[in-house]
Structure formats: C-alpha cells, structure tokens
Amino acid sequence: MQGADEAEFITLARVTKTQGRKGEVAATLFTDFPERFASRKQLFGLDSKGQRHELSLQDHWPHKGQIVLKFAGVDSISQAEMLVGWEIQISRSQRAKLEEDQVYVSDLVGCSVYDGNCLLGTIQEVLFGSGEAPLLVVRGKKEYLVPFAAGYIEEMALEQKQVRMKLPEGLLDLDSSLKQDAAQRKKTGPEPEPL
C-alpha cells in the first residue's frame, strides 16, 4: 500500500530491536492506548524507504517499558531484524475516540495559532512535563512557548488547522525575556556560586 497520504496514518510504535528467537520485536510506544493492540490485528509497517507494508499481529505483551510484537510470517531473528526501525501504524480512522476535552498531539502539530486576531505562528511540537499544562512550541516571526491551557483556548478548528487563543497580557513578552536570559547564560556560562 504505497503512495497513500502520510497524514492518513498514525504511528503507534517504532521497532527498536529483535526480542526472542521466534521473530518477536521490541518497540517503543507512541500511544497512550497500548491495550488496543489486543483488538488491532491488522497494522501497517513503514520501512526506512517510506514504503508501507501490511502486517498481521499475532501476539503482543509489555516488556521493560516497551511492547513486544509478534507478526505473522516473521518467525526468525533474521526476519525480525528487517523490521528494526520500522514505524508501526494504523490509519487515522482507526484511532481511539477521545473525550470531548481531549485532543491528539498529531492533530495540533501544524495548526496556526492566533492570539485574538494576531497570527503567532505554527505549532511545531508539544512539550510535556514542564508544568500543569503542556507547552505549544509555536514558530512564526519568533518562537513562543504557549501554555495549552483550557482557560486560554477560545476555539479549536482542527479540520482547518487553527487554534484561537486569548492569552493573558504580557505572557508572550515574559516568554521572550526568559529565552533571552537563558541564551545570555549559555554565552557567559553559569553564574558563580555565592561566597
């Protein structure tokens, strides 16, 4: 199944190594729904040349923070080695349904972000772990880190690739000055320890 639009597929995992002697592979997960492998038997593998192959999942289980996958017709270590580096995918229409207030990161990336009527730029990525709200990395004339907080969102039109927000006054200036301070510290090195 080659030539299909890349946007129509979602990567669930990436094969990192062989696992076992009967063709199993270990993969890093990119999904919050690993339990859905139990009902997903038909998957796709995207190889390093950008070619997509249909795969039939026979079995799966968690192992040391990854998932082990066993595909039909892959029955030896040498056959499994050929899958290392492949992305394991499903079609976009097969994604798990989310709650009304949830959104897929893949749907956010590429969206234009507006503060009121002012275009800030395009979402390049979403960062997690730096606070309560994820941060949108928005690039336009400048790069901004914008909290993806429900209180700031006015409208999300993901089909039109637009996110409209109402950001607190001064938030973008604060982000800019923090980045400048960090850049200056990189140039001059760390501040000396107080005596």
pLDDT digits (tens, 9 = 90+) for 50-88: 999 999 999 999 999 899 999 999 999 999 999 999 999
Closest CA to 103 of 144, 45, 161: 161
Which residues 6+ apart lie within 8 Å of 34 measured at CB? 62, 67
Residue 59 in domain: yes
Q: Do 84 and 132 lie in a common domain?
A: no
Cα 21 from Cα 29, distance rounded (Å) = 22
Q: Do 85 and 109 lie in a common domain?
A: no
Q: Do 10 and 67 lie in a common domain?
A: yes
Q: Do 11 and 59 lie in a common domain?
A: yes
Residue 162 in domain: yes
With residue 50 as reference, give the H or E element that holds it.
Answer: none
Cα 155 from Cα 164, distance rounded (Å) = 5
Instruction: Give the model's confidence band at 1: pLDDT under 50 very low, under 70 low, under 90 confident, else very high.
Output: very low
Token couple for 56: 């039939």
Q: Which residue has the higher pLDDT, 170 or 186?
A: 170
Q: Is the dihedral of CA 119, 98, 127, 17 positive or negative?
A: negative
Residue 81 in domain: yes
Q: Do 14 and 76 lie in a common domain?
A: yes
- Looking from the CA of 110 toward its CB, the CA atoms found within 13 Å total 9
Residue 14 in domain: yes
Res 132: pLDDT: 78
Q: Do 14 and 88 lie in a common domain?
A: yes
Computed over every residue of the chain, the mean pLDDT equals: 85
CATH number of the CATH domain containing 152 = 2.30.30.240
Residue 194 in domain: no
Structural domain count, the chain: 2
Q: Do 76 and 117 lie in a common domain?
A: no
Residue 173 in domain: no
Residue 114 in domain: yes
Q: What is the DSSP letter of 107?
A: H
Q: How does pLDDT run across 127-182, given as a tens digit for each residue?
A: 877 667 889 999 999 999 999 999 999 999 988 999 999 999 888 887 555 555 44
Q: Do 119 and 163 lie in a common domain?
A: yes
Domain that holds residue 32: 6-93
Q: Do 131 and 157 lie in a common domain?
A: yes
Residue 179 in domain: no
Angstrom CA distances, 173 to 44, 136, 176, stand at 44, 16, 5
Q: How does pLDDT run across 16-61, given as a tens digit for each residue?
A: 999 999 999 999 998 878 888 999 899 999 999 999 999 999 999 9
Q: What is the DSSP letter of 151?
A: G
pTM for this predicted structure? 0.62
Q: Do 68 and 12 lie in a common domain?
A: yes
N-term to C-term CA, the chain: 66
Bridging pattern class, strands 162-165 and 153-157: antiparallel
Closest CA to 117 of 170, 158, 154: 154
Q: Do 163 and 131 lie in a common domain?
A: yes
